[in-house]
Amino acid sequence: VKEVEEVRKQAGGDFSTLSAGIGRTGCFIATSILCQQLSNEGVVDILKTTSQLRLDRGGMIQTAEQYQFVHHVLSLYERLLRKTSEE
């Protein structure tokens, strides 16, 4: 959770287009799960994770912007992990 918030802050920009409620919640849950997987396993399957979230609770990650946001956060987090491992 801490890592997701840190990466979200680094991303900057206005993510108000993520909409309220379950779509935004889905973004938070997906990025939390995927950041943890990336950290532990080194690889993630964003489509599989978001599809499973939508099966578990319809409406999670509702828009293309939300899906793009998840990709963006994972990209930033991957760079952060790489930078940290190089130090």
| Helix/strand/coil for 1 | coil
Kindly report the pTM of this predicted structure: 0.74
What pLDDT sits at residue 20? Answer: 58
pLDDT tens-digit map of 20-32: 588 889 999 999 9
What pLDDT sits at residue 22? Answer: 87
Is 9 a residue whose pLDDT tops 80?
no
The DSSP letter of residue 62 is: -
Please give the Cα distance from 76 to 6 (Å, whole number): 10
| Helix/strand/coil for 87 | coil
What pLDDT sits at residue 30? Answer: 95
Band the pLDDT of 10: cuts 50, 70, 90.
low
The one-letter amino acid code at 3 reads E
Strands (E), 1-44: none
What pLDDT sits at residue 1? Answer: 56
